Amino acid sequence: MPADVLHVTGARPNFPKAAPVIRALDALGVQQQLVHTGQHYDEKMSDVFFHQLGLPEPDINLGVGSGSHARQTAAIMTGLEDLMLAERPQLVVVYGDVNSTVAAALVGAKIGVRSAHVEAGLRSFDLTMPEEINRMVTDRLASLLFATSPDAIAHLAREGVDPDAIHLVGNPMIDTLLANLDRFDAAAARAAHDLEGRYAVATLHRPANVDDPADASNLTTALHAVADQVQIVLPLHPRGRASLEAAGLFEHPGINVVDPLGYVEFMGLVRGADAVVTDSGGVQEETTILGVPCLTLRPNTERPVTITHGTNQLVTREGLAVAVKGVLDAGRASTWPVPPLWDGKAGPRIAEVIARELG
């Protein structure tokens, strides 16, 4: 039977967002297909998520692999066009801000298949970020826009989006986090990484931090200064590994560089940390719920709600060591604000809107 809904995923951040939506639509009897574009293809960046999150095996894997933004997006578009023309779904659901997201929205718009964007309206206002371009284009083309926070709705309203198309639903990534909370074992993470005492987790992959040798060198200096205070576990994204290694990051005895971790293992590590240093959007959200102090190494964030209603703060490389000292001195708070509707029920809210739209 042809599917009514086609979910397009492709990269590590997509999978925790898609899982609760797929599960909720299944409970409503909606016919679905899951596409994995293969944008992330490493087992720890992709396949392990399907097993750990209870996602069905993808119905289609396009296997596009890596490449420049243009080549990767073009390969995804070519594969999705053939698929959508053959299947003719009523709706394609896209997640986040990766190349797979904008590719699916573009293909759908050109062949007359409506799209729904989960995580619509987030804006960093930094057009040097490829993700910002993806967000803006996807939102312009989407028929349904599912917002995680009130500020996202304000951005969409300023851009002239039809208010009837916008739905504040909460954050499906938090659905996944809360559903798996009992599996995040900080003690097991300590044992796995031979950790004693306090520790920080770092996860860094943005081009502005790792692509240019000078930036990689400055980042290495900053992380070494942090490692003088507290041991760091750094699950290192393939992007930037070579530049950071060349800059001497691995040489500090207080920095333990490891391969990317599965979702459950990584979240167990984060749950037990005294601080997290990141440039990832998703980690800003996850630490907000877990109450872990988060230091975001970026000049801006498309998730300001994690600052106003969470544990996140923006820092520079030059100010990182001082910020970490402040976090360590203060200790973890016993209570903290949480954004509205980040309650583990975003998936069902999204599913109800989609089912209603499908009639």
Residues 125 and 200 placed together within one structural domain of the fold: no
Instruction: Tell me the whole-structure pTM to 2 decimals.
Output: 0.94
Residues 191 and 287 placed together within one structural domain of the fold: yes
With respect to residue 176, please indicate whether it lies within any of the assigned structural domains: no
CB atoms within 10 A of CB 127: 9
Residues 311 and 235 placed together within one structural domain of the fold: yes
CATH number of the domain within which 258 lies: 3.40.50.2000
Residues 64 and 205 placed together within one structural domain of the fold: no
Cα end-to-end distance, the chain, whole Å: 17
**pLDDT at residue 63, rounded to an integer:** 84
Q: Give CA–CA dist 184/201, Å, rounded.
A: 15
Active site residues: 205
**pLDDT at residue 316, rounded to an integer:** 98
Q: Give CA–CA dist 200/230, Å, rounded.
A: 7
Report the SS3 class of residue 289.
helix
Residues 30 and 142 placed together within one structural domain of the fold: yes
Residues 15 and 151 placed together within one structural domain of the fold: yes
**pLDDT at residue 38, rounded to an integer:** 85
Residues 160 and 236 placed together within one structural domain of the fold: no
Going by DSSP bridges, is the β-strand pair 91-95/294-296 parallel, antiparallel, or unpaired?
unpaired
**pLDDT at residue 220, rounded to an integer:** 97
Q: What angle do CA 305, 139, 307 make, to 5 degrees?
A: 10
Q: Report the domain count for the chain.
A: 2
**pLDDT at residue 64, rounded to an integer:** 84
With respect to residue 309, please indicate whether it lies within any of the assigned structural domains: yes
Report the SS3 class of residue 232.
strand
**Pseudo-torsion of CA 340, 147, 180, 230, nearest 10°?**
-80
Burial grade of 356 (CB within 10 A; 0-12, 13-18, 19 or more): exposed
User: In terms of residue numbers, what domain contains 11?
Assistant: 5-171+342-358
Q: Which residue has the tokens 């312009």?
A: 140
Walk along the chain (359 residues) and give the pLDDT tens digit of each residue.
Answer: 678 999 999 888 899 999 999 999 999 999 999 999 986 555 555 577 778 888 888 899 998 877 888 999 999 999 999 999 999 999 999 999 999 999 999 999 999 999 999 999 999 999 999 999 999 999 999 999 999 999 999 999 999 999 999 999 999 999 999 999 999 999 999 999 999 999 999 999 999 999 999 999 999 999 999 999 999 999 998 878 899 999 999 999 999 999 999 999 999 999 999 999 999 999 999 999 999 999 999 999 999 999 999 999 999 999 999 999 999 999 999 999 999 999 999 999 999 999 999 98
